[in-house]
Structure 1
Amino acid sequence: MNAMAALKQYQTVNTQAQAIEASPHRLIQMLMEGGLTRLAQARGAMERDQVSLKGEMISKAIGIIGGLREGLNLEAGGEVAANLDSLYEYMATRLVEANVQNVIAPLDEVSVLLRNVKVAWDAIAE
């Protein structure tokens, strides 16, 4: 196993261990962090003309946003949850556009939106 494969395996195991021990609040933080990372990776891949990697990273970001959306309790969350649901749907749509049109602007827009949601989430005490 080469060094990069070993590092990737370590990161996977480390992330899984953190997820097992994490509170629900922390799991949402981890999803948001993962989404931001995938968006940055997609942006880099797009800049380097790595079409396959770009598509893979955007797909993972869409999956993470879908996970955040699935975690919403629309009944108990009221207007805030409904607004987040709409925002997450918008983010996913913009990411599809970024992938299909091969443009960076929607990636940056979604990164800003997700970062803003994360800042607000981080401000909430567990």
Structure 2
Amino acid sequence: MYTPVSSRAASAYRQVGVQSGVDGASPHMLIKMLFDGLIQSLNAARGALQRGDIAEKGRQIGKAVRILEEGLKGGLNPAQGGDIARNLAALYDYCVSRLTLANMRNDLALVEEVVHLITPVAQSWSEIGPNNGATAQGAGA
């Protein structure tokens, strides 16, 4: 299929913009970006389930699981973060298990459960801001 040059250019520009944002971001901002991407994927999965678009639901849940496992959980530092890091790891593991079940069963309620669990954590992360970087980095980055 042919893609117009302007469309390819716009796509390349978006990719460069995302990469530039990541390259210049603080550890706190990187975690915020992961939370934003996670919530976006969860909302997209909800929409796909509501539309009956099973392929898109699977793609979005897979993306959410990767963000949880490789990004958020992978960025935890239990040695520095102590109980907070361990509790976040347990929360992320629980969310992954619920999303896996949601994917297998096409269960919207399970995706919504994860949204309700993650949203307050994401909001709290945004509220602590980079000024509390030492505390934030120990648990989340």
TM-score by length of 1: 0.92
- Among 8, 11, 16, the alignment partner of 1:13 is 16
Work out whether 1:53 is the aligned partner of 2:56: yes
**In 1, Cα distance between equivalents of 2:85 and 2:30:** 17
State the one-letter code of the partner of 2:27.
P
**In 2, Cα distance between equivalents of 1:50 and 1:7:** 26
Work out whether 1:96 is the aligned partner of 2:127: no
> Which structure is higher in RCO with an 8 Å CA cutoff and minimum separation 6?
2
| Structure 2 residue aligned with 1:32 | 35
The ranges of structure 1 where at least 4 consecutive aligned residues each deviate by more than 4 angstroms after the TM superposition are 2-9
- Among 97, 101, 121, the alignment partner of 2:125 is 121
Structure 1 unaligned segments of length 5 or more: list them: none
**In 2, Cα distance between equivalents of 1:36 and 1:124:** 18
Report the aligned-residue RMSD. Answer: 1.6
Structure 2 unaligned segments of length 5 or more: list them: 131-141
| Structure 2 residue aligned with 1:70 | 74
